[in-house]
């Protein structure tokens, strides 16, 4: 597993605003979108390209274009991952979008799969998993193996925050033969007894969609 933690003043600034419990849902959604776009820049660093020659108004330029076949696959983990989709697609508009519904039993912390809409065959395709919070790591480990079993060649998880215990779990549970990377804006040390990241930013799904006590 390869881990990238973004180190940039814009990321630090926006992440601090995101953590603030007084940030309204409308601003929270926009901050998520902006942070994901910044993460996407790093996450897509190794996308394959093909040389392309184009005519400019005054000459000829030799450049590169992204290979569109096979198309990258963007997979938000429902529901909070949906809030990250616009930010990712802003940089990768040619990607195909699939959906994976995984949730955590808050009592046992076991992972429950309740929905999926993905191609049966992902052979040779690079997949980007979107989920704001990498907490216990259970959901992400399940998702990574799910995509790998369908043939995904490379899997990159894009998360806003990660907890150290979750990252340690991924190191143990994700098979070493899987080409897997994680890109995050920040890493917190702890999880509470309910599996929430501390200090974290609360329940990302509730804050995205205005369901806040």
Among left, alpha and beta (phi > 0; psi -120 to 50; other), residue 82 is: alpha
Q: 138 a known binding residue?
A: yes
Query: What is d(CA 33, CA 145) in angstroms, rounded to the nearest whole number?
Result: 26
Q: 79 a known binding residue?
A: yes
Q: 121 a known binding residue?
A: no
The residues assigned a catalytic role are 104, 108, 203, 206
Q: 203 a known binding residue?
A: yes
Q: 136 a known binding residue?
A: yes
| Residue of 175, 171, 168, 165 whose CA lies nearest to 196 | 165
Q: 181 a known binding residue?
A: no
Which residues touch 113 (CB under 8 Å, ≥6 apart)?
100, 101, 102, 142
Q: 83 a known binding residue?
A: no
What does the CA dihedral 73, 77, 78, 80 come to, rounded to 10 degrees?
A: -110
Which residues touch 112 (CB under 8 Å, ≥6 apart)?
102, 103, 104, 105
Q: 134 a known binding residue?
A: yes
Q: Which residues fall in the annotated binding site? A: 79, 104, 131-139, 197, 202-204
Q: Which residues fall in the annotated binding site for uracil? A: 197, 202-204
Q: Which residues fall in the annotated binding site for 5-phospho-alpha-D-ribose 1-diphosphate? A: 79, 104, 131-139, 203
């Amino acid at each position: 597993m390869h881990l990238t933690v973004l180190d940039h003043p814009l990321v630090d600034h926006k992440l601090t605003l995101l953590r603030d419990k007084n940030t309204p849902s409308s601003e929270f959604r926009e901050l998520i979108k902006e942070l994901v776009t910044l993460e996407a820049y790093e996450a897509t660093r190794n996308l394959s390209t093909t040389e392309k020659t184009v005519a400019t108004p005054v000459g000829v330029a030799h450049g590169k274009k992204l290979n569109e076949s096979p198309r990258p696959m963007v997979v938000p983990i429902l529901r909070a991952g949906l809030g990250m989709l616009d930010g990712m697609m802003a940089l990768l508009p040619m990607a195909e979008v699939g959906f994976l519904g995984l949730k955590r039993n808050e009592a046992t912390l076991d992972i429950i799969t309740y929905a999926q809409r993905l191609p049966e065959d992902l052979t040779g395709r690079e997949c980007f998993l979107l989920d704001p919070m990498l907490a216990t790591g259970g959901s992400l480990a399940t998702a990574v193996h799910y995509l790998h079993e369908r043939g995904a060649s490379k899997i990159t998880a894009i998360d806003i925050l990660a907890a150290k215990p979750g990252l340690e779990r991924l190191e143990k549970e994700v098979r070493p033969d899987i080409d897997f990377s994680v890109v995050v804006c920040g890493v917190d040390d702890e999880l509470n007894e309910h599996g929430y990241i501390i200090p974290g930013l609360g329940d990302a799904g509730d804050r995205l969609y205005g369901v806040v006590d």
